[in-house]
Chain A
Amino acid sequence: MASSSPFATLKNKAIYAVAWLAWALMNVRLLREWGFDWDVALADSAVNNILLAIMTLLVSNHLRYYRPKKGKYLYIFAVCGIKSILSMLAARYILTQLFAGHTKYLDFLHKSMPVRLDIAFLVIICIALMSELWYTLQEQKEREARQADAEKLAREAELFKLRQQLQPHFLFNSLNSISALVTLQPAQARKMIQQLSDFLRGTMKKEENQWISLEDELQHLQLYLDIEKVRFGHRLNTDVYSEESVRTMQLPNMLLQPLVENAIKFGLYDTTEPVTIRISAQKEGSYLVIAIHNPFDPETSSPKQGTGFGLSSVQRRLYLLFGRNDLLATSHTDNQFTTIIKIPQAS
């Protein structure tokens, strides 16, 4: 893909035109000082510089579409050399035709050819190198932008995947509960289908990294808890507490669900007694702090085992979002496992 030309903007075009005009006028002045008439001075300068300007544009354009990698500078030199010779030959031919009988001028024209060629070469190579620099920078910028885009996409995909991780157990067991309720309590079955649908819809929300209020997140979480309670009604109790003042605080959506899922699994499968999962939210400095407690049996499982998929996925999400690894912490007492998550609030 060709980069944009340095002459693409009106501003650059104007600068280029003005520079050539100034240079052409300097030539006119020089020829006048050397004793040539206005018509000769103007014609010489115009023919010479218009041809040169065309050549520089050609060289610049040439480098835009053909980007040599190896022996680049040698190549540029050769191209510039040929272009300057071509432009000077053309200029000599045109001026010789124009001033056919003007021997003083023709003499001067032929004598000055080597100098004219040198100047033409210098001007063309100067423009060529500037163009080369421009295109190289342009390419680099594009590469960086592409890289940044790729990284952003990868990060978004990973975040999406992390958010989407839903235990298939949960889904199939919920469907199995519905299957039971259909004959036992049809109204209850319909209600559970509704809850499950609302929950899944919330999970599949399009807005990827959307932040939502604690109140909305807890509402979504409640759907999940209600479904789990239908499954484990006799054993599962939940206690969700948040102060009025923190309910409007923001957090990345679907952040709590995997932690609560982890706590429920840990609590329900590690004991046979009724289980209470406690969730509390409060403000600490500029952080929204949420604590999730679940019971466990210290005799049969080390709390380390609690660091299942739920915790590591949340840890990874927090890292991708904030670049920090210290926002999720776990602790335990004799038979209570606690997960604490801190969410920085934009002040």
Chain B
Amino acid sequence: MRKAIIVDDEPLARSVIREYLLPYPDIQVVQECNDGFEGIKAILQHQPDIVFLDIQMPKINGFEMLELVEQPPAVVFTTAFDEYAIRAFESHAVDYLLKPFSQERFDIAMKKWMDRASPLAAPATHALLEEAAQSPQQNQRIVVKTGSKIKIIPIDEVHYLEAADDYVKIHTKEGAFLKNKTMSHFEKVLNPGQFVRTHRSYMVNVHLVTRIEPYEKENYLAQLKTGAQVPVSKSGYAKLKTVLGI
């Protein structure tokens, strides 16, 4: 017996999938979720073999939900229409179902999964999430997990980012949050007019910079409105000056 979870904010959309799963008696829908929060909990609790995941959902979308799952299960995406999502899917050959879809199309996705071909491959999922993170909806916020809670940080509330081993520390007025990403990921995703990589391990929100002071030789410190100080390397100083227009 294999376990499936359906995450979609529309009950009728979930019932279509449940109906299409009837010909698969060895797959059991262990839970249906209304949103990404429920989805994360359900995945942790049930460790499903496959997740049917909608993209546009309340608060956090399907991609953001998946980012917060340590070891994502096999995923079949379902969406009505989303330019960015579809572009991401196509460039990474991950299977997705465009609503409304037929039983035949659904069966093809299931076959792919059973043959262990597409909906599963972890590197593809990873690349897909990278691409999706650049969509206009997602690059305006960062979704993090603190303990069992999920926090959505609007981009304007980020003071600066700091590399910390395999994580990036996101500093905000409510403290620092860890996100399982790299600095270069954020460099790619965030608006370069607002966030500047001033140092190998630091990125700063330029809207908050009040002063740049010399510090040791060829190094500087950016003083933020919040009182924090962020290291600036020689090349970071040049980048910062360009963005600030000085």
Chain A residues within CB distance 8 Å of chain B = 168-169, 172-173, 175-181, 183-184, 230-235, 268-272, 297, 299-302, 305
Contacts and interface: CB of A to CB of B under 8 A. Distances in A.
A17 B59 CA distance: 84
B80 A173 contact: yes
Contacts of B56: 169, 269
A232 B35 contact: no
Contacts of A172: 80-81, 98-100
Nearest to B99: A176
B179 to A, nearest CB: 16
B154 A269 contact: no
Contact of A180 (B19, B82, B98): B19
B55 to A, nearest CB: 10
Nearest to A273: B58
B152 interface: yes
B152 A231 contact: no
B34 A272 contact: yes
B11 A305 contact: no
Contact of B12 (A169, A181, A269, A301): A181
B3 interface: no
Contact of B19 (A183, A231, A272): A183
Contacts of A179: 16, 99-100
21 contacts: A168-B81, A169-B56, A169-B80, A169-B82, A172-B80, A172-B99, A172-B100, A173-B80, A173-B99, A176-B80, A178-B100, A180-B15, A180-B19, A184-B12, A184-B19, A232-B9, A233-B11, A234-B11, A269-B57, A270-B58, A305-B140
Contacts of B84: none
A140 B82 CA distance: 50
A302 B154 contact: yes
Contacts of A176: 10, 12-13, 16, 80, 99-100
B10 A232 contact: yes
B145 interface: no
Contacts of A302: 154, 156
B113 interface: no
